[in-house]
């Protein structure tokens, strides 16, 4: 299937950068809670289970329920308005987090954030795909995904600096520093809202979308390709989640770093090499597309996963920190390369009129499988190994080779099927 561009180069990139900015802000709002969990725990007398539900489950539960219906709305109505509505909703949720007077109110506010942010990915990816068309969407989708990683860095580093300034400035006792942090972060939301309002209404608003094909029939005609791309994406994101969840612990157990030292080492690596990998992955897809390589997204995914397996093997087998750190840098970079590839492949497969729904379902399923299975499986495998120092690294190594090889196989099948249909 050929995806045609509907915008000029400059206008398309303005759109992509605007959407990336909104994605960065959404990531800030999602991750800033991490900084203040201890303060919230003390104020409300919470347990770790309460904090885990607040940070993860409360957000993901509503996000998972809402993303597909919001994708359906994005297929039928003005996507800019849907995006603006989502941004306003999660801004209200973020403000409510800072004003909450009980744990129940915090959970409800966190759910509102999840509801608003569920509109972002299916809406934005659909807009980018339509604006850039085939052979040009790799880099803008990569820029969009990279913005999420940058947003996490802004939340943790910038939020930490802002929190320090708040504490040092002596805010009124009635406003706890963690509350002030939530409220001051809303400045970014207002900037993002003003920016996104400069985007013109899209074809949905002008009634140009045409008759939408039946979702089940459209997917059924090429379900093996969708399934193959899904397998590659699940493998990629699962390995990303494993590295994110277990790397600090590996650095502590295997290389005798303190918790603070592991964070100071791993954080800048994620911020620098993750987004760089995202952009390199998008560039690779576009380069292969321009050379006429059919199934370029699948091939790029397979090549990136192979490199990630090799880099992860260095990280997990290194006997010294000077060897492990370059392995971690390379692992983060190559896993970053995998992130945009399947999203590009799915956009190329899917008719424009149902792209929001398909993207919503795809992101939902990949997220549930990768988050639900990856980190806990490695934890269980590590528990079976009677080696406190290096058992976790062995478990991660097994996961990289097992999950990674399955992902390479799926991505290769996607590339072959795409090539056969070209």
DSSP string of 184-244?
HTHHHHHHHHHHHTTSPP-TTTTT-S-PPPPHHHHHHTTHHHHHHHHHHHHHHHHHHHHHH
CATH class of 1-209: mainly alpha
Residues 5-37 pLDDT 10s = 555 578 889 999 999 999 999 999 988 887 788
Mean pLDDT of the chain: 85
Q: Which residue has the tokens 């929190």?
A: 163
Whether the CB-CB separation of 238 and 403 falls below 8 Å is answered with yes
Residues 259-295 pLDDT 10s = 667 777 887 888 889 999 999 999 999 899 888 888 8
Note the Cα 367 to chain centre separation in Å.
Answer: 9
**Cβ neighbours of residue 56 closer than 8 Å, sequence gap 6 or more:** none
Where does the pLDDT of residue 218 fall: very low under 50, low under 70, confident under 90, or very high at 90 and above?
A: low
Where does the pLDDT of residue 190 fall: very low under 50, low under 70, confident under 90, or very high at 90 and above?
A: very high
CA distance 238 to 228: 15
List every span in the chain annotated with CATH 1.20.1250.20: 1-209, 211-422
When pLDDT is averaged across residues 72-84 and rounded to a whole number, the result is 89
pLDDT at 208: 46
Q: Is 80 exceeded by the pLDDT of residue 231?
A: yes
Q: Is 70 exceeded by the pLDDT of residue 297?
A: yes
**Ranges 16-20, 137-141, 256-260, 372-376, most confident:** 16-20
pLDDT at 207: 46
Q: Is 80 exceeded by the pLDDT of residue 245?
A: no
pLDDT at 134: 64
Report the CATH fold assignment for 211-422: Growth Hormone; Chain: A; (1.20.1250)
Q: Is 50 exceeded by the pLDDT of residue 1?
A: no
Number of Cβ within 10 Å of residue 382's Cβ equals 22
Q: Which helix (H) or strand (E) holds 357?
A: helix 355-383
CA distance 395 to 397: 5
Q: Which residue has the tokens 């052979």?
A: 135
CA distance 143 to 361: 22
**For a pLDDT cut of 70, what percent of the chain falls above it?**
90
Query: How much is the pTM?
Result: 0.79
Q: Which one has a higher pLDDT value, 205 or 407?
A: 407
Q: Which one has a higher pLDDT value, 264 or 304?
A: 304
CA distance 357 to 72: 5
When pLDDT is averaged across residues 311-334 and rounded to a whole number, the result is 94
pLDDT at 359: 85
Q: Which one has a higher pLDDT value, 347 or 334?
A: 334
First-to-last C-alpha distance (Å) of the chain: 8
Q: Which residue has the tokens 């803008």?
A: 140
Where does the pLDDT of residue 61 fall: very low under 50, low under 70, confident under 90, or very high at 90 and above?
A: confident
């Amino acid at each position: 299937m050929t995806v045609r561009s509907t915008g000029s180069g400059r206008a398309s990139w303005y759109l992509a950068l605007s959407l990336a900015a909104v994605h960065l802000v959404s990531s800030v709002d999602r991750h800033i809670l991490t900084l203040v969990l201890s303060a919230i725990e003390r104020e409300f007398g919470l347990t770790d289970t309460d904090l885990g539900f607040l940070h993860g489950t409360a957000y993901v539960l509503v996000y998972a329920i809402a993303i597909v219906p919001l994708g359906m709305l994005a297929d039928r109505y003005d996507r800019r308005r849907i995006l603006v509505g989502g941004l306003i909703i999660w801004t209200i949720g973020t403000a409510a987090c800072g004003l909450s007077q009980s744990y129940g109110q915090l959970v409800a506010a966190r759910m509102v954030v999840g509801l608003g942010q569920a509109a972002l990915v299916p809406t934005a990816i659909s807009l980018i795909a339509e604006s850039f068309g085939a052979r040009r969407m790799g880099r803008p989708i990569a820029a969009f995904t990279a913005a999420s990683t940058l947003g996490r860095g802004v939340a943790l580093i910038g939020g930490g600096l802002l929190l320090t300034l708040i504490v040092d400035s002596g805010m009124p006792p009635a406003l706890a520093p963690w509350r002030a942090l939530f409220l001051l972060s809303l400045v970014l939301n207002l900037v993002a809202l003003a920016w996104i309002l400069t985007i013109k209404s899209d074809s949905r608003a002008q009634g140009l979308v045409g008759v939408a094909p039946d979702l089940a029939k459209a997917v059924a005609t090429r379900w093996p390709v969708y399934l193959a791309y899904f397998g590659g994406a699940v493998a990629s994101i699962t390995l990303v989640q494993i590295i994110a969840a277990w790397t600090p612990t590996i650095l502590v157990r295997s290389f005798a770093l303190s918790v603070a030292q592991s964070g100071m080492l791993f954080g800048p690596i994620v911020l620098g090499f993750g987004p760089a990998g995202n952009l390199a992955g998008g560039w690779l897809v576009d380069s292969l597309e321009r050379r006429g390589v059919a199934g370029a997204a699948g091939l790029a995914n397979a090549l990136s996963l192979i490199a990630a397996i090799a880099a992860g093997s260095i990280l997990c087998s290194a006997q010294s920190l000077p060897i492990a750190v370059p392995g971690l840098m390379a692992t983060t970079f190559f896993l970053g390369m995998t992130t945009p590839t399947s999203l590009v492949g799915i956009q190329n497969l899917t008719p424009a009129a149902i792209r929001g729904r398909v993207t919503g379902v795809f992101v939902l399923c990949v997220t549930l499988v990768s988050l639900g299975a990856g980190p806990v499986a490695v934890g269980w495998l590590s528990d079976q190994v009677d080696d406190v120092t290096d058992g976790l690294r062995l478990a991660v190594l097994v996961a990289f080779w097992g999950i990674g090889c399955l992902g390479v196989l799926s991505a290769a099948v996607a590339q072959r099927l795409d090539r056969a249909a070209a």
